[in-house]
Structure 1
Amino acid sequence: MENSHECPKMVKDVSLQELRDRLAKFASDRGWEQYHSPRNLLLALVGEVGELSEIFQWKGEVARGLPNWSRDDKEHLEEELSDVLLYLIQLADVCGLDLGEAALTKILKNAQKYPI
Protein backbone atom coordinates (compact mmCIF):
# COMPACT_ATOMS: atom_id res chain seq x y z
CA MET A 1 0.00 0.00 0.00
CA GLU A 2 1.85 2.99 -1.27
CA ASN A 3 -0.45 5.58 0.24
CA SER A 4 -1.69 4.99 3.79
CA HIS A 5 -4.97 6.70 2.86
CA GLU A 6 -5.74 4.16 0.13
CA CYS A 7 -7.68 1.03 0.94
CA PRO A 8 -7.46 -1.31 -2.04
CA LYS A 9 -10.49 -3.55 -2.55
CA MET A 10 -8.26 -6.49 -3.55
CA VAL A 11 -7.02 -7.16 0.01
CA LYS A 12 -8.54 -10.46 1.13
CA ASP A 13 -7.29 -11.04 4.66
CA VAL A 14 -6.65 -8.16 7.02
CA SER A 15 -5.48 -8.87 10.55
CA LEU A 16 -7.04 -7.33 13.61
CA GLN A 17 -3.54 -6.12 14.49
CA GLU A 18 -3.24 -4.22 11.20
CA LEU A 19 -6.65 -2.62 11.73
CA ARG A 20 -5.71 -1.74 15.32
CA ASP A 21 -2.44 -0.16 14.20
CA ARG A 22 -4.10 1.82 11.41
CA LEU A 23 -6.82 3.05 13.78
CA ALA A 24 -4.24 4.11 16.36
CA LYS A 25 -2.28 6.04 13.73
CA PHE A 26 -5.46 7.61 12.35
CA ALA A 27 -6.43 8.83 15.83
CA SER A 28 -2.89 9.91 16.68
CA ASP A 29 -2.49 11.89 13.45
CA ARG A 30 -5.62 13.86 14.39
CA GLY A 31 -4.95 14.19 18.14
CA TRP A 32 -8.06 12.20 18.97
CA GLU A 33 -6.58 9.82 21.57
CA GLN A 34 -7.75 12.19 24.32
CA TYR A 35 -11.34 11.40 23.34
CA HIS A 36 -10.89 7.65 23.04
CA SER A 37 -11.55 6.55 26.58
CA PRO A 38 -13.15 3.12 27.00
CA ARG A 39 -16.46 4.78 27.91
CA ASN A 40 -16.50 7.07 24.90
CA LEU A 41 -15.57 4.25 22.53
CA LEU A 42 -18.27 2.02 24.01
CA LEU A 43 -20.90 4.73 23.56
CA ALA A 44 -19.76 5.29 19.96
CA LEU A 45 -19.92 1.52 19.38
CA VAL A 46 -23.48 1.36 20.73
CA GLY A 47 -24.46 4.23 18.45
CA GLU A 48 -23.05 2.40 15.45
CA VAL A 49 -24.84 -0.82 16.43
CA GLY A 50 -28.02 1.27 16.48
CA GLU A 51 -27.31 2.49 12.95
CA LEU A 52 -26.66 -1.08 11.87
CA SER A 53 -29.93 -2.19 13.45
CA GLU A 54 -31.86 0.48 11.56
CA ILE A 55 -30.83 -1.11 8.26
CA PHE A 56 -32.66 -4.32 9.21
CA GLN A 57 -35.42 -2.79 11.31
CA TRP A 58 -38.33 -3.03 8.89
CA LYS A 59 -37.07 -5.66 6.45
CA GLY A 60 -38.42 -8.75 8.18
CA GLU A 61 -36.39 -11.90 7.57
CA VAL A 62 -33.54 -11.46 5.13
CA ALA A 63 -32.12 -14.26 2.96
CA ARG A 64 -28.46 -15.22 3.28
CA GLY A 65 -26.35 -13.34 0.79
CA LEU A 66 -28.93 -10.54 0.58
CA PRO A 67 -30.04 -11.51 -2.95
CA ASN A 68 -32.84 -8.91 -3.10
CA TRP A 69 -30.77 -5.99 -1.84
CA SER A 70 -29.52 -3.21 -4.09
CA ARG A 71 -25.82 -2.47 -4.42
CA ASP A 72 -26.40 0.77 -2.47
CA ASP A 73 -28.12 -1.12 0.37
CA LYS A 74 -25.23 -3.59 0.55
CA GLU A 75 -22.68 -0.79 0.53
CA HIS A 76 -24.53 0.95 3.38
CA LEU A 77 -24.49 -2.32 5.33
CA GLU A 78 -20.74 -2.72 4.70
CA GLU A 79 -20.12 0.77 6.03
CA GLU A 80 -22.13 0.24 9.22
CA LEU A 81 -20.62 -3.20 9.87
CA SER A 82 -17.18 -1.65 9.40
CA ASP A 83 -17.97 1.14 11.86
CA VAL A 84 -18.99 -1.45 14.47
CA LEU A 85 -15.87 -3.54 13.87
CA LEU A 86 -13.53 -0.56 14.02
CA TYR A 87 -14.96 0.80 17.26
CA LEU A 88 -14.84 -2.70 18.78
CA ILE A 89 -11.17 -3.04 17.84
CA GLN A 90 -10.39 0.40 19.27
CA LEU A 91 -12.24 -0.40 22.49
CA ALA A 92 -10.30 -3.62 22.97
CA ASP A 93 -7.04 -1.79 22.24
CA VAL A 94 -7.56 1.02 24.77
CA CYS A 95 -8.53 -1.62 27.33
CA GLY A 96 -5.26 -3.45 26.66
CA LEU A 97 -6.95 -6.58 25.34
CA ASP A 98 -5.98 -8.80 22.42
CA LEU A 99 -9.33 -9.16 20.67
CA GLY A 100 -8.19 -11.90 18.30
CA GLU A 101 -6.86 -14.04 21.12
CA ALA A 102 -9.96 -13.38 23.22
CA ALA A 103 -12.23 -14.40 20.33
CA LEU A 104 -10.34 -17.66 19.76
CA THR A 105 -10.50 -18.43 23.49
CA LYS A 106 -14.25 -17.75 23.48
CA ILE A 107 -14.78 -20.13 20.54
CA LEU A 108 -12.98 -22.87 22.50
CA LYS A 109 -15.07 -22.16 25.61
CA ASN A 110 -18.26 -22.30 23.52
CA ALA A 111 -17.17 -25.62 22.01
CA GLN A 112 -16.80 -27.06 25.50
CA LYS A 113 -20.08 -25.57 26.67
CA TYR A 114 -21.98 -26.75 23.58
CA PRO A 115 -20.42 -30.05 22.46
CA ILE A 116 -21.37 -31.66 19.17
Structure 2
Amino acid sequence: MTNQPATHGGAGVESLAEVLRRFAEERDWQQFHTPKNLAMALSGEVGELLAELQWLTPDESARVMADPVAGARVRAEIGDVMIYLVRLADVLGIDLVQAATDKLADSARRYPVEQARGSAAKAVDA
Protein backbone atom coordinates (compact mmCIF):
# COMPACT_ATOMS: atom_id res chain seq x y z
CA MET A 1 0.00 0.00 0.00
CA THR A 2 1.12 3.51 -0.73
CA ASN A 3 0.73 6.73 1.23
CA GLN A 4 0.28 8.84 -1.91
CA PRO A 5 -1.97 8.25 -4.90
CA ALA A 6 -0.23 7.31 -8.11
CA THR A 7 0.31 10.22 -10.43
CA HIS A 8 -1.91 10.38 -13.45
CA GLY A 9 -0.01 10.37 -16.70
CA GLY A 10 -2.80 11.75 -18.86
CA ALA A 11 -3.91 8.34 -20.13
CA GLY A 12 -7.58 9.24 -19.81
CA VAL A 13 -10.63 8.88 -17.67
CA GLU A 14 -10.28 5.09 -17.35
CA SER A 15 -6.78 5.46 -15.94
CA LEU A 16 -7.95 8.09 -13.47
CA ALA A 17 -10.85 5.84 -12.43
CA GLU A 18 -8.38 3.03 -11.71
CA VAL A 19 -6.16 5.35 -9.62
CA LEU A 20 -9.20 6.52 -7.64
CA ARG A 21 -10.49 2.96 -7.21
CA ARG A 22 -7.11 1.85 -5.86
CA PHE A 23 -6.92 4.93 -3.60
CA ALA A 24 -10.32 4.08 -2.09
CA GLU A 25 -9.50 0.36 -1.76
CA GLU A 26 -6.20 1.04 0.04
CA ARG A 27 -8.10 3.08 2.62
CA ASP A 28 -11.12 0.73 2.79
CA TRP A 29 -13.30 3.64 1.69
CA GLN A 30 -15.30 1.78 -0.95
CA GLN A 31 -17.83 1.01 1.80
CA PHE A 32 -18.58 4.75 1.95
CA HIS A 33 -18.51 5.29 -1.82
CA THR A 34 -22.16 4.59 -2.47
CA PRO A 35 -23.79 6.37 -5.39
CA LYS A 36 -25.78 8.53 -2.94
CA ASN A 37 -22.73 9.55 -0.92
CA LEU A 38 -20.63 10.23 -4.00
CA ALA A 39 -23.39 12.31 -5.61
CA MET A 40 -23.75 14.32 -2.41
CA ALA A 41 -19.99 14.85 -2.20
CA LEU A 42 -19.95 15.88 -5.88
CA SER A 43 -22.72 18.39 -5.23
CA GLY A 44 -20.79 19.82 -2.29
CA GLU A 45 -17.65 20.23 -4.37
CA VAL A 46 -19.60 21.93 -7.18
CA GLY A 47 -20.92 24.30 -4.50
CA GLU A 48 -17.37 25.06 -3.41
CA LEU A 49 -16.43 25.78 -7.03
CA LEU A 50 -19.43 28.09 -7.34
CA ALA A 51 -18.38 29.89 -4.16
CA GLU A 52 -15.05 30.74 -5.78
CA LEU A 53 -16.84 32.47 -8.68
CA GLN A 54 -19.99 33.69 -6.96
CA TRP A 55 -19.31 37.40 -6.51
CA LEU A 56 -17.07 37.92 -9.53
CA THR A 57 -18.31 39.88 -12.50
CA PRO A 58 -18.54 37.96 -15.78
CA ASP A 59 -15.24 39.55 -16.88
CA GLU A 60 -13.53 38.75 -13.57
CA SER A 61 -14.71 35.14 -13.75
CA ALA A 62 -13.31 34.84 -17.29
CA ARG A 63 -9.92 36.03 -15.99
CA VAL A 64 -9.87 34.15 -12.68
CA MET A 65 -7.02 31.85 -13.72
CA ALA A 66 -4.74 34.87 -14.22
CA ASP A 67 -4.80 35.42 -10.44
CA PRO A 68 -2.37 32.89 -8.95
CA VAL A 69 -4.22 32.56 -5.63
CA ALA A 70 -7.80 32.52 -6.91
CA GLY A 71 -6.78 30.42 -9.92
CA ALA A 72 -5.21 27.80 -7.64
CA ARG A 73 -8.41 27.58 -5.61
CA VAL A 74 -10.56 27.19 -8.74
CA ARG A 75 -8.19 24.55 -10.12
CA ALA A 76 -8.34 22.61 -6.82
CA GLU A 77 -12.14 22.72 -6.75
CA ILE A 78 -12.37 21.55 -10.36
CA GLY A 79 -10.02 18.72 -9.40
CA ASP A 80 -12.35 17.74 -6.55
CA VAL A 81 -15.36 17.84 -8.89
CA MET A 82 -13.55 15.64 -11.40
CA ILE A 83 -12.52 13.15 -8.73
CA TYR A 84 -16.05 12.69 -7.41
CA LEU A 85 -17.59 12.59 -10.89
CA VAL A 86 -15.15 9.94 -12.11
CA ARG A 87 -15.54 7.92 -8.92
CA LEU A 88 -19.36 8.08 -9.12
CA ALA A 89 -19.35 6.99 -12.75
CA ASP A 90 -16.96 4.15 -11.93
CA VAL A 91 -19.12 2.89 -9.06
CA LEU A 92 -22.20 3.01 -11.30
CA GLY A 93 -20.42 1.41 -14.27
CA ILE A 94 -20.95 4.44 -16.53
CA ASP A 95 -18.51 5.23 -19.32
CA LEU A 96 -18.18 8.99 -18.85
CA VAL A 97 -16.95 9.70 -22.36
CA GLN A 98 -19.78 7.68 -23.90
CA ALA A 99 -22.35 9.34 -21.62
CA ALA A 100 -21.08 12.79 -22.65
CA THR A 101 -20.98 11.81 -26.32
CA ASP A 102 -24.55 10.51 -26.15
CA LYS A 103 -25.72 13.67 -24.37
CA LEU A 104 -24.01 15.90 -26.94
CA ALA A 105 -25.68 13.99 -29.78
CA ASP A 106 -29.05 14.49 -28.08
CA SER A 107 -28.33 18.20 -27.57
CA ALA A 108 -27.37 18.55 -31.25
CA ARG A 109 -30.75 17.05 -32.15
CA ARG A 110 -32.65 19.30 -29.73
CA TYR A 111 -30.68 22.44 -30.64
CA PRO A 112 -30.06 22.46 -34.39
CA VAL A 113 -27.55 25.13 -35.40
CA GLU A 114 -30.00 27.01 -37.61
CA GLN A 115 -32.46 27.41 -34.71
CA ALA A 116 -30.13 27.70 -31.72
CA ARG A 117 -27.24 29.83 -32.96
CA GLY A 118 -26.86 32.87 -30.69
CA SER A 119 -29.86 31.95 -28.56
CA ALA A 120 -29.91 30.76 -24.93
CA ALA A 121 -33.56 29.65 -25.22
CA LYS A 122 -34.35 26.26 -23.70
CA ALA A 123 -35.50 23.54 -26.09
CA VAL A 124 -39.23 22.91 -25.96
CA ASP A 125 -38.94 19.10 -26.09
CA ALA A 126 -36.77 18.81 -22.98
- State the TM-score, normalizing by the size of structure 1: 0.83
Is 1:82–2:73 an aligned residue pair?
A: no
Q: How many residues align?
A: 110
Contact 2:35–2:91 (CA under 8 A) maintained in structure 1: yes
Structure 1 equivalent of residue 7 of structure 2? 7
Q: Distance in 1 between matches of 2:55 and 2:66?
A: 13
Contact 2:46–2:81 (CA under 8 A) maintained in structure 1: yes
Structure 1 equivalent of residue 102 of structure 2? 105
Alignment gaps of 5+ in structure 1: none
Structure 2 residue corresponding to 1:56, chosen from 53, 56, 60:
53
Is 1:40–2:29 an aligned residue pair?
A: no
Amino acid at match of 1:94: V
Q: Distance in 2 between matches of 1:68 and 1:32?
A: 33
Q: Distance in 1 between matches of 2:25 and 2:61?
A: 38
Alignment gaps of 5+ in structure 2: 114-126
Amino acid at match of 1:59: L
Q: Distance in 2 between matches of 1:39 and 1:68?
A: 32
Contact 2:41–2:84 (CA under 8 A) maintained in structure 1: yes
Structure 1 equivalent of residue 22 of structure 2? 25
- Larger RCO (CA within 8 A; separation ≥ 6): 1
Deviations 1:6-44 (A, max 9, x none): 637xx5x44111111110010011110000000100111
